[in-house]
């Protein structure tokens, strides 16, 4: 019984290890790219768009309205980053429903990488909004001595993002594996349903927290309600 999909190795030469995490991640990526490409194949004006395109437009506009609700106004600039995070996480966590596949977010490396994306995106968007020195001045904002505490809090909330997602998904997989040895059919199905719900909630939480962190870096300190 393995804790993470890292331990299922398909192919290994030298230091190159193809494990289940890499294979599942590439499968999710190929699936998302294929769906996007199929939907945006032909744009013909003055024609009723296809159903799949309408559905995906609903999803993207829903993400944009949620980002604006959280406090990040002019949400359209941030929809590519946060929307991709949410869609990738939702699809990866939904993989638990496919028999024989494990979600790649059950591996600590995937979640640490995604959290470090958010860690580097926050100063990226902050510098684009306020300029380099404007962003650095924000660290010293309430009191001059608060700068190291701001930095430490940024590191710790990034680590919390990674561990939250990893812990939720890994615990779901471990419980399903343990229950498979005890009672084969009934309880593992229930725990898979719970794992699907938890996975969707955690994907939403991850994207919402990323939006909140970026909003904290981007909002102007003179008028907190509009920018």
Task: Name the site residues for other proteins (rule: CB under 8 A).
Answer: 1, 3, 69, 160, 163-164, 166-168, 170-171, 174, 201-202, 204-205, 208-209
CB of 1 to other proteins, least distance (A): 8
Per the CB < 8 A criterion, the answer to whether 169 and 109 are in contact is: no
d(CA 212, CA 194) in angstroms, rounded, equals 26
The smaller minimum CB distance to other proteins, of residues 81 and 166, is found at 166
The smaller minimum CB distance to other proteins, of residues 123 and 167, is found at 167
Three-class SS state of 216:
helix
d(CA 50, CA 157) in angstroms, rounded, equals 41
Per the CB < 8 A criterion, the answer to whether 105 and 89 are in contact is: yes
The smaller minimum CB distance to other proteins, of residues 36 and 65, is found at 65
CB of 115 to other proteins, least distance (A): 13
DSSP tally for the chain: helices H, then strands E: 7, 2
Structure tokens at 153: 């809090």
The smaller minimum CB distance to other proteins, of residues 147 and 177, is found at 177
d(CA 28, CA 105) in angstroms, rounded, equals 11
């Amino acid at each position: 019984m393995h804790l993470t999909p890292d331990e299922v190795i398909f192919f290994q030469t030298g230091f190159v290890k193809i494990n289940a995490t890499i294979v599942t991640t590439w499968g999710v990526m190929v699936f998302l790219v294929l769906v996007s490409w199929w939907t945006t194949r032909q744009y013909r004006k003055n024609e009723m768009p296809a159903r799949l395109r309408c559905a995906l437009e609903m999803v993207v506009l829903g993400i944009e309205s949620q980002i604006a609700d959280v406090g990040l106004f002019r949400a359209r600039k941030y929809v590519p980053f946060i929307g991709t995070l949410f869609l990738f996480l939702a699809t990866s966590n939904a993989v638990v429903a496919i028999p024989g596949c494990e979600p790649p977010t059950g591996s600590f490396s995937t979640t640490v990488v995604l959290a470090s994306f958010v860690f580097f995106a926050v100063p990226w968007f902050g510098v684009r909004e306020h300029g380099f020195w404007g962003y650095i001045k924000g660290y010293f904002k309430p009191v001059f001595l608060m700068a190291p505490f701001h930095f430490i809090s940024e590191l710790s909330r990034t680590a919390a993002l990674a561990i939250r997602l990893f812990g939720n998904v890994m615990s779901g997989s471990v419980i399903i594996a343990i229950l498979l040895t005890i009672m084969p059919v009934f309880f593992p199905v229930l725990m898979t349903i719970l794992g699907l719900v938890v996975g969707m909630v955690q994907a939403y939480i991850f994207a919402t927290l990323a939006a909140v962190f970026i909003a904290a870096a981007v909002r102007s300190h003179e008028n907190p309600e509009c920018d």
